[in-house]
Amino acid sequence: MRKKNGVRGTRIVRKNRMSIMLLCLSMMFIWGCGDKNSRENERQELAEELPVEMDYGEQNIEDIDEGMTGTEESDQAEEEAEKIQEDTSVKELSEEMLQKIRVARTRHYYADILSGLLWAGELPDMQVEVQDDFYDTVRDNSFAVTDIDNDGREELIISYSTASMAGMFEVVYDYDPGRNQLKQQMCMYPALYFYDNGVIKAEASHNHSKGELWPFALYQYQKDSDTYEMTAYVDTWDKKLTDSWGDQSFPEELDVDGDGVLYNIQMGDSPTSDYADYQYNQSDYDAFYQSLMQSTYDIGTTADEIQIDFKPLTYESFQDYTSDYLKLMHEAGQREVDASQTDIGFLFLEEGRTLVEVEQFLTDKYGVVIESQDEYNDIAIGLYENRMVFDFVNLDGGDLTYLDEKVEDITVFGVYPGMSVDNAWERLTAYGFYANPDGEVENSLITGVGMGNRSICFEEEDNKIKNIMVRPYCKYTG
């Protein structure tokens, strides 16, 4: 038995002891934004319009949708555009902006998945083994975001090879931002080769055959179901390695080209490797391979392998996905009246901005007096006309609380003390927030579960906002 060397990879926590290969069965996952409290139940319709939250602990696993006709695809595209328009609903968005949002929302979703893998060893459909050196080695794995199946949407490919042979895998996820659905298209040993005719060549992790050719299977992309279907399998028997199969000798009469090699060529998804299966010669293999690997662009030629731009599995490789998405949602969701407001939520979001800089901005523009509450300047309050209106905690990324009453034109992600709760949910939804399924208070919203996201929660009194707290948020880092 020969083993295939790992290609790219890493390893992670296993909550249950199921085999990782069983977890790699192709399936689709659909999440909805869970509503825990009575206030959130009243706004369920609003929450359903939001990007899917990544609560891996309570996910539904459902069958893959039936294939769509061309008309149905067109209808879906129109529905996606209408849904994104409804999410913002404050101005008519161009098709160019709608497409930017689709792409940004998809990448933001993938950033949440990558955060779960990087900081918790968690993927939507599996947990990977965690060894003592997990946090030292996880960054040696890689990922790519690219439209690998040419369906108009980007897929997430993760290659994970810093585990034992049994724990290595390469997985392909496809997120549909219009339907809020994530589908696993493929999960195999990390020796996959992608071709521009929609074929994936998947080499086996071990060579259990009697030949030198490394066994492989071919998978063809099926547009109707947006899945890959196994279409063929190949391995060989080399006489020079062994001239017998149990008590049966190498079938010389079948080796018409006399090279001492017979091919086992199987079509379909249920290959066998019995004595009688080894009956094909090199010319048969060449004809078979060419028939399945024809280029869709140049008839008579072989398809080209796609050179994928894999990136290291580090936060720096995907950190822009979330910030780009939130800034785009700000642009798309902003009303005309918002342009005349000072939004310290988005000020806090900008690259390189610290809470101290926000404090200085409020002092310079509005005369807010900052008073430190401890010797380390970790906790401070902001006074406006001798009234405490802000509370600052410069720890763990920073907390900012906006208290009791609106100060001039200052808002936080479009909301402010005194605003009606229903209007606040509408504004926050337009900016990409959704109900936090793990929130411990009633009005708790987040923009996602990975690094770089934001959390906002507020107290209410008589259906009016009383206090607002905003802070960075990541489910996996505490």
In a domain, 110, yes or no: yes
Please tell me the distance from the alpha carbon of residue 403 to that of residue 368, in angstroms, as a whole number.
13
Write out pLDDT tens, residues 108-123. 999 999 999 999 999 9
Distance of CA 278 to the CA centre of its chain: 42
- CATH at residue 431: 2.60.460
Please tell me the distance from the alpha carbon of residue 446 to that of residue 448, in angstroms, as a whole number.
6
Split at pLDDT 50, 70, 90, the class of 55 is: very low
| Residues 456, 396 share a domain | yes
Please tell me the distance from the alpha carbon of residue 432 to that of residue 423, in angstroms, as a whole number.
15
pLDDT at position 40 over 80: no
Give pLDDT, residue 82. Answer: 58
pLDDT above 70 covers a percentage of the chain that reads 80
Give pLDDT, residue 460. Answer: 93
Beta carbons of 294 and 197 less than 8 angstroms apart: yes
Residues 6+ apart with CB under 8 A from 190: 6, 7, 8, 9, 159, 160, 161, 168, 169, 170
Please tell me the distance from the alpha carbon of residue 262 to that of residue 239, in angstroms, as a whole number.
8
Beta carbons of 456 and 413 less than 8 angstroms apart: yes
| Residues 469, 367 share a domain | yes
pLDDT at position 416 over 80: yes
| Residues 298, 314 share a domain | no
Please tell me the distance from the alpha carbon of residue 435 to that of residue 380, in angstroms, as a whole number.
29
Give pLDDT, residue 35. Answer: 40
| Residues 364, 293 share a domain | no
Give pLDDT, residue 319. Answer: 94
Pick from 26-35, 66-75, 248-257: least confident: 26-35
Give pLDDT, residue 443. Answer: 94
Write out pLDDT tens, residues 364-415. 999 999 999 888 888 999 999 999 999 999 887 789 999 999 999 999 999 9
Split at pLDDT 50, 70, 90, the class of 7 is: very low
Q: Which of 291, 325, 359 is where one domain is finished?
A: 325
Give pLDDT, residue 297. Answer: 83
Give pLDDT, residue 102. Answer: 95
pLDDT at position 260 over 50: yes
| Residues 109, 131 share a domain | yes
pLDDT at position 287 over 90: yes
- Give the DSSP letter of residue 200: E
What's the number of domains the chain is made of? 3
In a domain, 10, yes or no: no
| Residues 207, 106 share a domain | no
Task: Return the closest-CA partner of residue 84 out of 169, 177, 168.
Answer: 177
Split at pLDDT 50, 70, 90, the class of 1 is: low
| Residues 408, 384 share a domain | yes
Task: Return the closest-CA partner of residue 127 out of 240, 23, 36.
Answer: 23
For 102-116, give the DSSP string: HHHHHHHHHHHHHHH
| Residues 399, 286 share a domain | no
- Give the DSSP letter of residue 140: G
Please tell me the distance from the alpha carbon of residue 34 to that of residue 62, in angstroms, as a whole number.
17
Domain that holds residue 231: 197-304
| Residues 222, 139 share a domain | no
Residues 6+ apart with CB under 8 A from 70: none
Please tell me the distance from the alpha carbon of residue 448 to that of residue 456, in angstroms, as a whole number.
12
pLDDT at position 3 over 70: no
In a domain, 35, yes or no: no
Averaged pLDDT, 76-94: 60
Strand partners, 173: 156, 184
Phi, psi of 233 (to 5 degrees): -145, 145
In a domain, 231, yes or no: yes
Task: Return the closest-CA partner of residue 144 out of 322, 307, 286.
Answer: 307
Write out pLDDT tens, residues 209-254. 999 999 999 999 999 999 999 999 999 999 999 999 999 999 999 9
Give pLDDT, residue 74. Answer: 57
Establish how many alpha carbons lie within 13 A of residue 318's alpha carbon, considering only the half-sphere containing its beta carbon. 30
Secondary element (H or E) of residue 266: strand 261-267
| Residues 158, 277 share a domain | no
In a domain, 39, yes or no: no
Give pLDDT, residue 374. Answer: 84
| Residues 183, 277 share a domain | no
Give pLDDT, residue 320. Answer: 95
pLDDT above 90 covers a percentage of the chain that reads 65
Give pLDDT, residue 76. Answer: 61
pLDDT at position 65 over 90: no
Averaged pLDDT, 149-165: 95
Please tell me the distance from the alpha carbon of residue 10 to that of residue 314, in angstroms, as a whole number.
12
